Amino acid sequence: MVAASPNPIHNEKIEAIELPVIDLSAERSQVRNLIVKACEDYGFFKVINHGVPQDIVAKLEEQSLSFFAKTMAEKQRAGPAIPLGYGCKTIGFNGDMGEVEYLLFNTNPISVAQRSKTISNEPTKFSSAVSGYIEAMKDLACEILDLIGEGLWVPDTSVFSRLIRDVENDSFFRLNHYPHHLNKDCTSNINSSCSSKVGFGAHNDPQILTLLRSNDVGGLQISPQDGLWVPAPSDPTAFWVNVGDLLQAMTNGRFVSVRHRALNNSSNSKSRMSMAYFATPPLNACINALPEMVTPEKPRLYKPFTWGEYKSTLYSLRLGDTRLNLFRASTSDELAS
């Protein structure tokens, strides 16, 4: 559920900027204000002291690395990813490519358990590790979304998290593996002279919120403005949080859906693995700007749409395209509202 773009262009600028780090154990009013500011300034921040038990992370990492260490023939039994399951290099349905292999899951425990049968020789152990991690991510995402509701001073502070807690939520979970050398059956003609290849190209996440954790190998970058890329240093003990398209729409553009990518540094002898939880509402959930976010000075930017409609748009475009622009409100839409 992310979107890829072509290889990086030569005239882009890489700049080290200190990105927001938020201690979730700090005083609550301070935390919520810092989160709102980070969402406004970058659409991206790191959380520490998040309360996610290390053993939950360790179990999933062990099970995941065991899968990705298998032969290509063994891994392909868990695919193809259409969209769930195992995929390699091909991202989405419209020709997007990357130096990555991955597993994509719906977060429903029954779905995870069923898919684990083609992934692991110990499917119960694997599905338990995945579902345990997903549940921890859901709790953390809801906590952050409630803090956002408080920080925005909206009357219903659970307006965002309620969409994720809904039993019909359409959330997804993705394991991305960026190997030092992809199997010869999983390679294509990407310029081998580049020391850092595009692992997962520039994209905006379409959902509400993403929680991302990786091992101690770097590669993640965000783009706060066109042509500028900022590395996000690896921290296996923390989680990076980024705003998705739906949260940008619900805050009427006050928060920004950050563009980001992952590079696969071929000079690094250790592979990178990331775990991404995409907090997503039910398909029939209506996405609309909160009334408190709309003023005469800041009229409604986007017309109402359902997540199902937005998801259909994702599959009809190149995955790296900017999709929110297709849902811009016209003057007549604003007058009607």
Q: What is the CATH number of the domain that holds 109?
A: 2.60.120.330
Number of domains within the chain: 1
Contact 160, 251 (CB under 8 A): no
8 part of a folded domain: no
Does a structural domain hold residue 18? no
Task: Establish if 32 belongs to a structural domain.
Answer: yes
State which residues form the domain around 306. Answer: 24-182+195-327
State residue 164 phi and psi, 5-degree precision: -85, -35
Which residue numbers are catalytic? 272
In a domain, 236, yes or no: yes
pLDDT in single tens digits along all 337 residues of the chain:
443 344 444 568 899 999 999 999 999 999 999 999 999 999 999 999 999 999 999 999 999 999 999 999 999 999 888 889 999 887 767 666 778 899 999 999 999 999 999 999 999 999 999 999 999 999 999 999 999 999 999 999 999 999 999 999 999 999 999 887 554 445 443 333 345 678 777 889 999 999 999 998 888 999 988 889 999 999 999 999 999 999 999 999 999 999 989 888 755 568 889 999 999 999 999 999 999 999 999 999 999 999 999 999 887 777 667 789 999 997 555 545 5
Asked if residue 337 is part of any domain, the answer here is no
Please name the residue that has the structure tokens 């965002």. 160
Cα–Cα distance measured from residue 55 to residue 73, given in angstroms and rounded to the nearest whole number:
30
Q: Closest by alpha carbon to 44, among 263, 247, 282?
A: 247
Give a yes or no: residue 143 inside a domain: yes
Residue 71 falls within a domain, yes or no? yes
Report the amino acid identity of residue 96.
D
Is 142 a member of any domain?
yes
